[in-house]
Chain A
Amino acid sequence: MVTVRLNVNGVAHEGRCEPRKLLADFIREDLGLTGTHVGCEHGICGACTIMFNGEAARSCIMLAVQADGAELMTVEGLMRDGKLHPLQEAFREHHGLQCGFCTPGMLITALDLLRTNPSPTDREIREGISAVLCRCTGYQGIVNAVRAAAPTLVAGR
């Protein structure tokens, strides 16, 4: 067993786990943050995407020990003062989710896209979110949501 110290959504955590424990499992089981979902465990579907030291990363193909000392943000960290993040609001308004399973990874991925490209074209939005598979929406509601949220995020900076 090894000790992992990390900061998740602004809160310091310390846990002990086997060295082989996946970061996604550590987040879900040891930290109890079940908003991060596991869809493939081979780095394709993107449901497990989290912010890792400020960049989107797949938590299903990282070990928890690799996150020792890291700053993470999961979907649970998006709300501020009990209010939805503008991106969450946009997903709701534009029907950017159906079953909700890919949604946490999709939100984090879209946030990462808008961080690096604050006013993307539709093509760039599609490329940006192509790191996450959604089987329900055909992506149209998601593209609409990301496009709509972009100016709000810029204004909020």
Chain B
Amino acid sequence: MARREDGRFLTGQGSYVDDYRPARLLYAAFLRSPHAHARVVRIDASAALTLPGVAAVLTGEDLARSAKPVRAASKTPAVKVTSFPPLALGKVRHVGEAVVMVAAESRYVAEDAVERILVEYEPIPVVTDMEGALRPESPLLHDEAGTNLLVSREFARGDVDEALAGAALVVRERFRFHRHTPVCMENRGCLAEYATGSGTLTLRSSAQCPGLVRDVLSDLLDMPEHRIRVIAADVGGGFGAKASLYPEEIATCVMARRLGRPVKWIGDRREDLLATTHAWDEIVEAELGVDRDGAIVGLRAQVTADVGAYSIYPWTAAIEPVQTISFLPGPYRVPTYRGRTRGVATCKAPLGPYRGVGRPPAVFVIEGLMDRAARQLGLDPTEIRLRNFVRDEEFPYKSPSGIVWDRSSFTASLLRACEALDYAAVRAEQARARAAGRWLGVGVASYVELTGIGSAIPVSPGMPIATGTEAATIRFDPAGKVTAVFGVASHGQGLETTLAQIVADEVGVPIDDVRVIHGDTEVSPYGTGTYASRSLVLAGGAAILAGRAVREKMLVIAGHLLEADPADVVMTDGRWAVRGMLDRSVAAREIARAAYTGARRLPTGLEPGLEATRFYDPYYGTASNATHVAVVELDRETCAVKPLRYVVVEDCGRMVNPLIVDGQVHGGVAQGLGAALLEEIVYDDQGQLLSGTLMDYVVPSACEVPWMEVHHLETPSPVALGGFRGMGEGGTIGAPAAIANAVADALVPLGIEIAELPVTPDRLFRLIEHARARG
């Protein structure tokens, strides 16, 4: 089914933040730090304030008088809590950090004003290397923490040291997954309006989580939540980048409240690359022990993540490093495990969630180790995986980090992927290519991810907010049309279509009679938003519950109208009929009209109206899994990697809309491929961002992305309502590992392993030259 939101997007009628232009609007611009680490000695904005058209200037000290500093609190001692002032207070900790905000009659004037502000900085030594930042002599980012080690945690099962000592083979590697950034095509932006008469604040923001932003603004601005409305109308991509609270949102609200005028800030791409959260950036040292048959006996690993300058709200600096170590064992039986993880502060933009969170590096590592072990044992990469997958009869299976995998299709997904690819034929082709001197490789990656997480597990460990529930309100109007309101917020996922499909099924109306409203805290039931592959599971589950409640009432009213026992009323072909007497029926619209007509048309004692709000908590959440297979060829002249085929077999449980599922996989794989081959955030050793444009940070174009063959298994989730499993992130989780393994497979004749991503042509060239020199 084609999407219902497309009509407005195709005709230029989307409503993104920057499309709003209320009367008396002021435009904001930020002066951002040119230094990676410096004390702010003095700010002189007098020349800016005299510029015609400038309304106000806000510094960190001004702002601190109107808003509390952001502190991503944590319930676990594993995380050191540090402040993140919306505008620098006392010192700056990364290039691009917001220091002063200007509001003016146009963005042009606001930028002129920024140029006239003088800030005197006193540079202090910079630290950009995460391992160097752990040394005692390293410059300290946060005095209050007393260390740059903001996160430290360990998971263990069994005696891994003994297991590895007794293993037939131990493979080890130091993996490096470099820094990336999500690059939503719409840069971040927000528009705040404060109504002085009513004391209400409205923030339109390019946010994934309007509910979460509303809650925290209430605390920071000391305003009751019911006087704050956060609207995320159309949002041009999120991918996790827009799931956190941002300094600009707070500063814009403060400025609007101060001036009593609407204030809008729309970031440009430079600001996006400098100050939107970055991702992944980890060193993983890992050892995998296997027995003679390739069965895993133990896994030992240490993750070190460069979390950048600040711990972000609400996820904290723990989200990436802890997620990586939690998911490292993958879909395998790992009898002994010790995973240590560290999150280290450096003078770079903060690390935040990006599609996959922790799992793209985790899967790169475990799948890389599996291939290394297979090569040394002379096993095919598919064989070693099949020998180690959690078997179908072993579900539910508790992983060494404590995550429980419900019934999944690890083995089936791999077998189906091999069949779809014609694995044997591809291997035969590879042998011929190799004989002809071509570098052709096949890479396999299997993974499992936790999705639709309920209240039992925090999305990020120790985080200060609860994220385990979502709600749906389903309301019939007297004309029989349905409005369904959700606290989640769509930013490309097509939730206006999929949630409408679920609602339409539950209450028995055509989908065109259902309108989905989302992303507006004023009209929705309580919720946080869309992130962590949760929306179809949580909001879809809530829709099912609310739909059932409405349907039950409809049966009662229909029974009354039809003079039949409600137990004998059935819903069929869009009408509500007496079982066995289908000519005695009423339409949904007649039931709805009766519901609002009052006692004359309703059974005695039945409350008028036809609507229900229900909350859903999937408690543990569910699992989604997939196998990706990539076939690549390396250009011997340019060292460019060309993907020739790409097969995905994914299992997201019951599919509501296969077209949308395919689209999510395609987009996810393209991002994973970019991460593996092209994209890298690069800082120099003074913390200057060298990849500050889209010429330098290379997002794949249509020419770099291969045709993708996507196949589906539909193992209904045994634990989530509706059998849904979340699937927004999987493509990006599997692709880096599949590509890396394919490149390594192509280079087997040279004995090259891929331990660093992205594997750019210059890195490959060096690896190849080095291998040749080695002979």
Tell me the A residues contacting B by CB distance below 8 Å. 18, 20-21, 25, 28-29, 33-42, 44-45, 47, 74-76, 78-79, 84, 88, 91-93, 95, 97-104, 107, 122, 125-127, 129-131, 133-143
Contacts and interface: CB of A to CB of B under 8 A. Distances in A.
Contacts of B660: 95
B666 interface: yes
B639 interface: no
A45 B666 contact: no
Interface stretch (B16-24, B536-544, B607-615): B16-24
B186 A99 contact: yes
B427 interface: no
B185 A139 contact: no
Interface size class of B (residues with CB under 8 A): 35 or more
Contacts of B494: 98
B702 A139 contact: yes
A34 B12 contact: yes
A74 B187 CA distance: 21
Contact of B3 (A18, A92, A131): A92
Nearest to B701: A130
Interface string B264-287: 000011000000000000000000
A141 B268 CA distance: 28
Interface string B491-524: 1111000000000000000000000000000000
B699 A135 contact: yes
A103 B694 contact: no
B10 A103 contact: yes
B424 interface: no
A35 B185 contact: no
29 contacts: A21-B108, A29-B21, A35-B13, A40-B268, A40-B269, A42-B269, A42-B694, A45-B185, A76-B11, A84-B7, A95-B662, A98-B237, A98-B667, A100-B10, A101-B185, A122-B707, A125-B702, A126-B702, A126-B703, A130-B701, A130-B702, A133-B694, A135-B184, A135-B185, A135-B699, A138-B669, A139-B666, A140-B662, A140-B708
A24 to B, nearest CB: 11
Contacts of A76: 11-12
Contacts of B702: 125-127, 129-130, 134, 139, 142-143
Given A99-B235, A129-B702, A138-B705, A88 B11 contact: yes
A92 B10 contact: yes
Contacts of B6: 91-92, 97, 100
A37 B9 contact: no
B239 A135 contact: yes
Most buried by A among B185, B235, B703: B185
B5 A100 contact: yes
Contacts of A97: 6, 9-10
A20 to B, nearest CB: 7
Contacts of B5: 100
Closest 7 CB pairs of A and B: A35-B12, A100-B9, A101-B236, A99-B492, A138-B666, A138-B670, A98-B492
A143 B183 CA distance: 21
A75 B13 CA distance: 9
Contacts of A129: 701-702
B458 interface: no
Contact of A136 (B492, B694, B708): B492
Given A98-B493, A138-B666, A35 B11 contact: yes
A91 B187 CA distance: 23
B74 interface: no
Contact of A95 (B3, B184, B669, B699): B3
A36 B12 contact: yes
Interface string B694-718: 1100010111010110000000000
Interface of B: 2-3, 5-14, 16, 18-19, 21, 107-108, 182-187, 234-239, 268-269, 491-494, 659-660, 662-663, 665-671, 693-695, 699, 701-703, 705, 707-708, 731
A29 B20 CA distance: 10
A82 to B, nearest CB: 10
A60 B755 CA distance: 40
A129 B700 CA distance: 12
Given A135-B699, A143-B702, A39 B187 contact: yes
Nearest to B704: A130
B185 A133 contact: yes
B30 to A, nearest CB: 15
B703 A137 contact: no
Given A98-B237, A135-B237, 18 more contacts: A29-B21, A40-B269, A44-B694, A84-B11, A88-B10, A92-B2, A99-B9, A101-B237, A125-B702, A130-B701, A130-B703, A135-B670, A136-B185, A137-B666, A138-B666, A140-B666, A140-B705, A141-B662
B668 to A, nearest CB: 8
B748 to A, nearest CB: 28
Contacts of A47: 185
B114 to A, nearest CB: 15
Contacts of A126: 701-703
Nearest to B660: A95
Nearest to B273: A40
B666 A127 contact: no
A75 B185 CA distance: 17
A45 B187 CA distance: 12
Most buried by B among A40, A130, A142: A40
Contact of B699 (A18, A25, A133): A133
Contacts of B238: 99
Contacts of B108: 18, 20-21
Contact of A40 (B14, B107, B694): B694
B12 A138 contact: no
A78 to B, nearest CB: 7
Contact of A138 (B11, B186, B667): B667
Nearest to A79: B11
B695 A42 contact: yes
A45 to B, nearest CB: 6
Nearest to B695: A44
Contacts of B699: 133, 135
B466 to A, nearest CB: 28
Contact of B268 (A41, A74, A79, A136): A41
A107 to B, nearest CB: 7
B267 to A, nearest CB: 11
A57 to B, nearest CB: 17
Contacts of B663: 95, 98, 136-138, 140-141
A75 B695 CA distance: 26
A39 B269 contact: yes
B185 A33 contact: no
Contacts of B234: 99-100
Most buried by A among B187, B236, B268, B665: B236
Contacts of A104: 12
A139 B694 contact: no
Contacts of A21: 108
Given A42-B269, A142-B702, A100 B21 contact: no
Contacts of A100: 5-6, 8-10, 14, 234, 236, 492
A10 B668 CA distance: 39
B236 A139 contact: no
Contacts of B665: 138
A75 B10 CA distance: 8
A126 B704 CA distance: 9
Contacts of A84: 7, 10-11
Contacts of B493: 98
A129 B705 CA distance: 12
A39 B185 contact: yes
